[in-house]
Amino acid sequence: MPVTAYDLTGRTAFVTGAASGIGRASAALLAQAGATVHCADRDEQGLHETTDLIKQAGGTAHPHPLDVSDRTQITEAIATAARTSGGSLDIMAAIAGIMHSSPVLETRDEDLDRVLAINFKGVLYACQEAARTMIASGTRGSIVTMASGAIDTGGPGLLCYGVTKAAVVQLTKTLATEVGPHGIRVNAVAPGWIRTPMTTRHDDRAQAHTESLMVRMSPLGRVGEPEDIAHAVLHLASDAAAFTTGQILRPNGGVAMPW
């Protein structure tokens, strides 16, 4: 018998960062579970690859090329997505983000501003518009944000990135208390090291070193794949997590970040 709590047939989802890695895998899995998925990203080519992938698998997907750090662009795209579904939005997965690494003593204002604009403000704008849309249509929706294992530990160069992910956690917990009375749930996923373009852009030796460290530190003896995190997103987005809100789910293979 199918487990119906994970069935998203008839639901509308909006996924940011959908052109790559965790966002792409999440968009594909939400579509596989039956949702109509609106995919947003600034990488237009990657975005179309994702929507093609979903359509080829028999799902429904719409591309929204945009920059999440631009409030007007994200607000308009969510409004467009909701219009195609009679004004409602059931799921927001705010996944888009960037990595930045610089020692504290070398961190410039513009570094911090850039990472905050995408990793925090971009998530804030998406959450605000999603929650407003859900409240207006009386939808008991689910909002999922993307934090990181960096929330649990410091590490060389991690200041800007870690600050933005800690801010995402605060947003998640605060918003959960404010929109809970409307039946809207808000949760975060804080992945460990996942093999995506974000983590594999480094040179081969550095990547091999980090991967082997992660494998040794995980009781499961492997690194994470985007699909591991997509399943966490699906769980929190679905009715299976109907009594879960304001929580941080840590799919990290059993380890904290290896700093």
Ligand X SMILES: NC(=O)c1ccc[n+]([C@@H]2O[C@H](COP(=O)([O-])OP(=O)(O)OC[C@H]3O[C@@H](n4cnc5c(N)ncnc54)[C@H](O)[C@@H]3O)[C@@H](O)[C@H]2O)c1
Site residues (vs ligand X, CB under 6 A): 17, 19-23, 41-43, 46, 67-69, 95-98, 118, 122, 146, 148, 191, 193-194, 196-199
Write down the least CB distance from residue 181 to ligand X, Å.
Answer: 28
The verdict on whether 161 is a catalytic residue reads: yes
Using CA atoms, how far apart are residues 68 and 124, in angstroms rounded to an integer?
A: 10
Residue placing its CB nearer to ligand X in the complex, 117 or 135 = 117
Q: Name which of 62, 91, 90 is nearest 77 in CA terms.
A: 62
Residue placing its CB nearer to ligand X in the complex, 154 or 180 = 154
CA 188 and chain centroid, separation: 8
Q: Which of 6, 14, 125, 161 is catalytic?
A: 161
b/e code 93-103 from CB counts within 10 Å (16+ = b): bbbbbbbbebe
Longest C-alpha distance within the chain, in Å?
Answer: 57
Write down the least CB distance from residue 185 to ligand X, Å.
Answer: 20
Residue placing its CB nearer to ligand X in the complex, 23 or 59 = 23
Using CA atoms, how far apart are residues 238 and 242, in angstroms rounded to an integer?
A: 7
Using CA atoms, how far apart are residues 205 and 221, in angstroms rounded to an integer?
A: 20
Residue placing its CB nearer to ligand X in the complex, 33 or 214 = 214
Write down the least CB distance from residue 155 to ligand X, Å.
Answer: 12
CA torsion sign, 237 to 241 to 243 to 247? negative
Write down the least CB distance from residue 83 to ligand X, Å.
Answer: 21
Query: What is the spatial order of strands in the sheet that 36-41 belongs to?
Result: 60-65, 36-41, 12-16, 91-94, 142-146, 185-189, 248-249
Residue placing its CB nearer to ligand X in the complex, 73 or 107 = 73
Write down the least CB distance from residue 3 to ligand X, Å.
Answer: 26
State the catalytic residues: 161
